[in-house]
Amino acid sequence: VLGADDFAVLSRSAVQRMRVLEALLTDLAGPQRLVREGVLPPALLFSLPAFRASTVGTAPAKWLVHYALDVVRDASGVWRVMHDATDAPSGLGYALMQRAVLARLLPDGMRHSGAAPISAQADRLRRALTALAPTDRPSPRVVVFTSGPSHPSYVEHSYMASRLGYHLVENADLVMREGHLWLRALDGLEPIDVVYRRVDD
């Protein structure tokens, strides 16, 4: 359990770190100033297994919509980041699930504990994902993409899809036609505007 002061420092730091990572991804997929100016050696960038040269020149509205980090406090009391999760970060769904269960089991305890509310996070995530859809879509279709029940975080994927009001899809549910992604539905194929990818790359 973290006090409000510690949480305020961590949350400000996480936002700052996410902005730095967003700027880094934007540069590496765009002008690559960091490579041209020698800050990042080209051999390092192009040898990364996760780097996709095909992303160079693409400019989505946002690279990072959902971000998580693992932190520890060292012996001197300073917080240290151990891991940035930009690919398929877990945790939000579990936190929302646990909070919902606690609110049902211990409603008075939750009310009097002073715990910071987190339910609005799902709404913020939904708005951020919807904002990535093409602007000509009045009611965009967003799906949560999972590798299926064998994934260790499948329970979270399923919960988040339900909480966000999106379809939970796997490979077999999707079709690529004429450069567009479609959802197999009972009535035929339905266009997909945004994929909330929950599979590790």
Report the alpha-carbon distance of residue 117 to residue 4 in Å, rounded: 12
> What is the maximum alpha-carbon separation in the chain?
61
Q: How many Cα atoms occupy the beta-carbon half-sphere of 150 within 13 Å?
A: 3
Beta bridge partners of 175: 182
For the chain, list the strands marked E by DSSP: 68-73, 79-85, 142-145, 167-169, 174-177, 180-185, 188-191, 194-197
The pLDDT assigned to 158 comes to: 96
What pLDDT, on the 0 to 100 scale, is given for residue 147?
Answer: 92
The answer to whether 197 touches 86, Cβ cutoff 8 Å, is no
Question: Which residues in the chain show pLDDT less than 70?
Answer: 201
Note the pLDDT of residue 138.
84
pLDDT digits (tens, 9 = 90+) for 18-49: 999 999 999 998 899 999 999 999 999 889 88
Long-range contacts, 40-48 (Cβ 8 Å, 24+): none
Q: Residue 184 corresponds to which amino acid?
A: R
> Tokens in use for 130?
């919807």
- State pLDDT tens for residues 110-126: 888 888 888 899 999 99
What's the confidence (pLDDT) of residue 201?
63
pLDDT on residue 116: 85
Q: Compute the distance between CA of residue 128 and CA of residue 164 in angstroms, rounded to an integer.
A: 11
